Every structure is written in C-alpha cells, then in structure tokens.
Chain A
C-alpha cells in the first residue's frame, strides 16, 4: 500500500494533478475575497453583505486560502512529489549524460530519422569532423561513431527541480524572519527604531527577535504631482553617520537586510494659537490625513478643529475647491468647536488665521508633510534569487538547447560503401527532422 502510494506520489501524472490542484486553490483565492488582500474595511463590508457565504468560507478557511491548511497540504505533496521524481530521475539522467557509445550504437537503426549517404572512396573521416564543427561531441571513428549535441541538457531537469527547493528554502526563511512595521514621521522628526514608535501591530519575526536597528532623521519630503498624477516623492533621510539617503516610490532606502519604503503621504501643518496681543500660547505640527478630500481633526487648547485641505485652492461659486492635486496654493478650511458648540470657521492659507472666542486666533503658519514609511527586514533573498536564476537557466538549457543524437555506421553494399545515419532529438519532431535533413545535406555535399 505504502509502496504503491509512494509510487503514485512520485509519478509525473501526480505532478500534473498537483499543479492542477494548486491552480484550483489559487483560483478560489482569486474569486473569493481574501482577508490579506482586500483590506479590513472591504472585507467587513463583504462579510456584512453576504454573511452566510462569509461564514461558510471562513469555516473552510477559503478567505485566507493561500495559507489555509489545504493549500499547505497540496504544497507539501507538491514538494514530496518533486523529491520522489528527482530520486527516480537522478540515476536515469546521470546514465543519459554519461556516454556509452557502444550502448548507443546497439540502438542504431531504431531512431525516428534514418538516412543513407553514398560514400566516395576514403572520405569516412570527414563526417565526424563535420559533425564536430556543428557542435556535436563525436565518439568513435568515421566507420562507426556516436555523436551527441547538448549532451548535458538532461541535467537541466534536475536543476529545474532543485530551483524549486531553493525557492522553498528562501520562502521559508523569509516567512519566519520577516519584520514589517509602519511608522509615521513628519519632516525634521527623528526615528531611532524603537518598537513603540511603530503604528499599531508591527509584525515581528516569527522566529523571534525585534525590529531592525534602523535610525535616521527625516530631513525633508517633496512630493511631485503633475496633472493629477503622483510622479514622484523625494524623501531625504539622514542616518547616524550623517550620510543622506533619498527614498522615492520604487526606490527604498536599503541598509543590510532592512528596507525603508514610502507608503503614504499626509500634510503636517504648523498650527499655532495666539492671544489678542499676537503672542503664541500653543503650537504644534499636526499630522493630518486630509489628502484627496478627506476630513481629519485635531485638538489644541481645548478646541476641536475639523480640517479640510485644498492643495491648489480656489473659490468656485462661493465654495472652496481645488484646481488640481498639485501643492500650488495650499489652504485649509477649518471648523472649530468647543464642547460641541461652534466657535469659528474659515479658510486659511499659510500665514493666515481664524478668529476664535476670547480674542484668540488659530493660525496656519506653514505647511510641512508627513510620510508613512514601511520598514521591513527579512533574510533568505539569496535563495530566492538563486532559485529564480537556476530555474530560468534550466528552462533554456533543457528546452532550447535540447539534446540531439546521431549514430553512424559505414556498410558495404552492392552499390558501394554507404554511411547509415540514425538520428533522434528531444521534444521536437519536425523541427529536429529539418535540422537533421540540413546536416545530412551538408554531409552529402561533402561526400
């Protein structure tokens, strides 16, 4: 029973079924909302809209199907199948690449392509020379030979399978060593890598350990927007040694195995409260999430302030609006309340203020930015890169530089001496035949 199960698990038919099973599982992940992909709000909305379906899916773990036990089991069988296939294939492949000309010549005449070339006197040695010039390794002499091109190509099958194990090792190391955390920083704010500074729930490495030792000062943030499209963001970080590093979208700051990536942008204006004489009695850079028309609020001196932001402010039909997403004429519309009672409202540009009660003023002094940075650290990338590269090399090696074999035997016939050629190629039939036809035509021309 165990033997037959292992035999089936090591079969190529099983490989196909396992790949089909993976396709099926991934398709479920494609069509059903996945908690890790759609975001919490969208997931809860779907859950509320289809509670029954959501319950069934959650019970079967179909809403986290990529890490569901069923998927892990299929992956397990997939790699077991790879191992067993490799175990079976290794001796076969090694036997194939190890040339035994006599064994090959014993099969002479059984190949799919057979040719007979009439030979002139004394020209038998030319054929091996011509084949060698075409990239064949020739074993034997002109009278009886075995020629092989891309002899080692079958090894690529093993390399391809090995590459999957490298990817697996890399993925496992990466999964268990990965740290991710978001940190919100305003311009001129330092970050010393403390765990407490990260936003809620940074993901610590499963293998243990804490956050990476990444320390820097956020010097400046310069977003670039053109015709409503975010075309870049220049974030300058200064590390402990005083060296500056630029972070942009697609260009993280990398230090060792840690990366610091731009994730989100917000406005960090300096608001101050002044008394009737103009003296500042309070002030702070507040981090507001107000881009794309969102409302945010902050508290200062007991006032609740709701804020709307217009990066390129304009008044249209008496209403605040923005001409574009470019930061050309920033302005805030503020609505100030105290204990639930409206105190003041107004739209302010940098340097302007709204009048509050008791002679106080709420001023918008300057506009800075804050950024949400994603800090990650993980190991294992070397295995993943090596896996990718080996897989690609193996695919090209096996399927493009495929193996061709020719056996040649000179025989005496009633019409004189003839060279009988028997050829075979991996994978391709008609294309291999074309190639052998051309080779034989060249040989015939020379004979």
Chain B
C-alpha cells in the first residue's frame, strides 16, 4: 500500500466509523436531525476514499480491481457512492446509510487484512471484458446492499410500530413502508440486471482467457447461485406476492450470497481460477 493511499484509506475508515456511530446514536436516541450532518461527513469520507483509490491507481498504474483488498476498496466506494446518490435524489433515503456504512466498513476492514500489497497488473486481468465485468459487479453489489438497507429500515420501522414505541409512520417519517417495499424491489431489479451483465461479460472474458464460456469454477458457480437466488426473489415478489417483512428478510439473507461470492470463495476455495496468483 502506498503511503498516501494508507493515509487516505485509514482516514476514510475513521470517518465512516464516526458516521456509523452517529447513525447508531440517531437511531437509539431517536435524534434523526443529525442525519443530514452525518451525510456531509460520509461525503467527506467518500472524497478521502476516492483519494485512496486514486493513490493506488497512480502507484500501480491500473484500477484496483483484483485482490480482496481492492474489491473491498472499490466495492466500498461504490456502496458509499450509491448511498450518497440515492440520498441526493431523495432526501428520505438518507437513512439507508445506517446499514450501508457499517457494511462498507466491514468489507474494507476485511480487505485490508488480506493483501493490500501493490502489484503490477497481472496479464490475466488486462481485458476490456474484465473491466465491464468488474464494473457491473460493483454496480450490482451496490444495488443489492441498498436493497438490504431498505429491508433493514423496513424491519426497524415495523419493530418500532410493533413495540408501540412509534407508529410505522413516525419512524423515518418520510419513508412509508410501501415506499421501502417498492425500493427494495427496485434496487433488486437494478442489481439483478447489472448482475446479469456481469455474468455475461465475465463469460466472454473467460472464453478468451481459459477457452470456455463456463467452466463451473467455484466463483462462476457461486455467482450463478447468487443470481438465481435474486431471480427467486423476483419470482416470489411478482408471482407469489412476497412483500414487507418476508421480502425484507429475503433481501438481507440474499446479500450473504453476494458477500460470499466477492470475498468468501477465495478463502474457501484454493482451486478457483478466479483466485489470481501474483505470479
């Protein structure tokens, strides 16, 4: 890790930690007025985070998109950027950061514990299709995390209403349960489409690199499992009418499959061709 990158990386993590703490405070003490200020803090964190990405880009001459650390760095950037984007588009969605910021911290923290070493880009990663593949992977990951965040807020609202501490309409007042329910599905749809593009681009890349569109490699297999899982979610929603609580839990649970795909496979599997060796 370059010196400037290390400073930016850790500083952004600290900022996100403060913001996450702030969100927990806002939730526990029901002081949602601080949320806009926290969003500014997250914005500052994203700027510093961008600095870390840029520093790494200049230090090694290519975008960080291969190792677990780089997945965490860029995946986290996309999640935070998506959070700020939806918050900018609709103020009521600012609260999503309560779930997305801690998730980002976890994946960045996990990544930095793995392999932050700077390295030239391996030849296997020099491909236009890989760039498309990774870009859409991050987009889908960001969307799925937002769907999970909408699910978490939905459940918090519902729980508050059930306990009688607040009616479902009081907590995060400008976000109705129906809206959250729709948003979950909308992010799911966005994630599902970008995930499909990710798989298609990945298989074209695989054809040029390994000679086959599909080899049932563990990462390929798990990405298909993850896509099918979200496909089931769409079916359950559209044809079986799954909504509300059940759908929220489904969005939270399904994210596990994506996290395993991004980070877990390289731990579990040593035989994956996706576990890129440095030599």
A interface residues (Cβ-Cβ under 8 A, vs B): 12-13, 15-16, 19-20, 22-23, 26-27, 29-30, 33-34, 36-39, 42, 66, 174, 180, 224-233, 248-252, 259, 261, 263, 292, 325, 374, 376, 381, 384, 388, 391-392, 395-396, 399-400, 427-431, 433
Q: Contact between B208 and A261 (Cβ–Cβ < 8 Å)?
A: yes
Chain A neighbourhood of B271, CB < 8 A: 33, 37-39, 42
Question: B103 contacts the other chain (Cβ, under 8 Å)?
Answer: no
In angstroms, how far is the closest chain A Cβ from the Cβ of B224? Answer: 6
Complex Cα distance, B183 from A437, in Å, reads: 17
Chain A neighbourhood of B210, CB < 8 A: 261
Q: Contact between A429 and B235 (Cβ–Cβ < 8 Å)?
A: no
In angstroms, how far is the closest chain A Cβ from the Cβ of B279? Answer: 5
Q: Contact between A20 and B232 (Cβ–Cβ < 8 Å)?
A: yes
In angstroms, how far is the closest chain B Cβ from the Cβ of A394? Answer: 10
Query: Which residues of B172-227 are within 8 A (CB) of A?
Result: 176, 178-179, 181-183, 185-186, 189, 192-193, 196-197, 200, 205, 207-213, 215-218, 221-222, 224-225
Question: B240 contacts the other chain (Cβ, under 8 Å)?
Answer: yes
Question: B167 contacts the other chain (Cβ, under 8 Å)?
Answer: no
Known: A228-B278, A400-B189. A13 touches B240 (CB 8 A): yes
Question: B36 contacts the other chain (Cβ, under 8 Å)?
Answer: no
Interface residue tally for chain B (C-beta within 8 Å):
53
Chain B neighbourhood of A225, CB < 8 A: 279
Chain A neighbourhood of B236, CB < 8 A: 16
Chain A neighbourhood of B181, CB < 8 A: 429-430
Question: B253 contacts the other chain (Cβ, under 8 Å)?
Answer: no
- Chain B at the A interface: mostly helix, strand, loop or mixed? helix
Q: Which of B123, B127, B238 is the one whose CB lies under 8 Å from A231?
A: B123
The closest CB in chain A to the CB of B175 belongs to A430
* Interface CB pairs A-B, < 8 A, 27: A12-B235, A13-B239, A23-B229, A27-B225, A30-B221, A33-B271, A36-B216, A37-B216, A37-B217, A37-B271, A228-B279, A229-B278, A230-B122, A230-B123, A230-B124, A231-B120, A248-B123, A261-B210, A376-B212, A381-B213, A392-B197, A392-B200, A399-B234, A427-B237, A428-B182, A429-B181, A430-B178
Chain B neighbourhood of A430, CB < 8 A: 176, 178-179, 181-182
Chain A neighbourhood of B231, CB < 8 A: 19
Chain A neighbourhood of B238, CB < 8 A: 427
In angstroms, how far is the closest chain B Cβ from the Cβ of A262? Answer: 9
Known: A12-B239, A428-B186, A429-B182. A252 touches B208 (CB 8 A): yes
